[in-house]
Structure 1
């Protein structure tokens, strides 16, 4: 007599099953395996912790800030060093630097999220279209991309903001305009490697139009590498936004933008070093967090490790 083992399987066994019973189970299993690879990278977890802390600071700025980020005490709190009352000291207008950094995290997230939302889809669409269609379409789109890549991103962003006018919205638009070419190059390279594979040819033989092939079959393949590149570029986006704020073309006073805070504190860098050092340290830590997170995502999403 054969004994059939009907003991219930655990959630981990269900997720790691080599023979998934449905497409949903297969997708969840793939996501779980990716998370396991990401979790094993300690530096990536450090980066994730930094980004989560940034999100919490931005969401709970009203609760975490100890003073108003815009109003200071000129008579009794001007350029005070770090203390129990003012953790990071005060600036030349008597404003609490810690509170301004906490509220400035909202501006930082506003910039990086909007740039990613605008630039990544444009670059993905341009790159996949150029790679799949080829010919004169590829030539024209890539020459336009080369024009943008010929200039340093900060210099080109400065030119666009100077033309559009200073302000955080124009700064976001300028950074997005200068960021998409790199994503287009990556998407085109990915498309060139998959456009002649069997399943793409099978979809074409079934009569699918080029737009459907690109949007439904090629774009999902390029998404993972694009996510990694966007995450790694977040540090550069933050530095570009800070650079625009430093020269007065980004967020305008009295908004607590980190680059503008460094610009206002450079006059006191020798005696009251904390005015510029605190926002500079915030930029360094957040940029490091995005770089560590991007490196971890690159390793976790590497298709060559999917079978490990």
Structure 2
């Protein structure tokens, strides 16, 4: 509504799929080819989700699953007055583009049925492909369309402060303010090993966040956190963290101002040594292709890592956009 521009920044950033009372998947992956995987090109983003299987479905303890925490959250958002039907036009189904895309999806579905029969005939053993957990808790923030209290950031960082030996954070990019930097400094001063992995500006796909990072990189470095920049050729989009050996979190929250103060966000906090170990393994593969930030301008670069050359015009555009965004960084 052009007459109410103050409403224009409300954004739902959650990503999850619930199937009956059996299972759900939650993470940071958006629903289009760049994130899901393109059948025709190699253009893609690396992402991360967690699948939760409800072992008690159909029984007396069925509703003890965290699945129903996610379902309750969904119902709350679904029933908000800001959520409404996008269109109700039956004629749209007859449009050529709609017919083409529907046929494409049906063809892909048939291919999936052929290639992964066990997923469709009921023989897939979810128990053997998942690991046990002690506890799962959904962490969510406010869902209104205006500015929000930093509930998700606060909850995650309070958990980090309790770590006894390590905290590992993977986020596509980092855009922080003084409060966030101060909190990260407190964690660094409390926990023996704290590191963060982000995309390098050369490797990442978020132009605005890259522009801001170059103005405030010094502030992140000043927190004392061990900072690594990923240069693996594909942009990494996963949002997750590990605390010690038995606690991990996966979801949609970026360590930036939008996720902290503007968007709706979900993180699933899971207590499980086995799952945390798996996640550390996946994180380690990403970290092999990272350079270590020494200070604002210098790096330690592994021999096998090639940093992409960025043209002058793009670096100049980063500087200009970053400068223009400073008064409204929270929207970056």
On whether the aligned pair clears a TM of 0.5, the verdict is: no
Q: Smaller-chain TM-score range?
A: under 0.3
Computing the radius of gyration from Cα coordinates, the structure with the larger value is 1
Q: TM-score, normalised by structure 2?
A: 0.22
Using the size of structure 1 for normalisation, the TM-score is 0.23
Structure 1 or 2: larger helix share? 1
Q: Identify the structure with the greater strand proportion.
A: 2
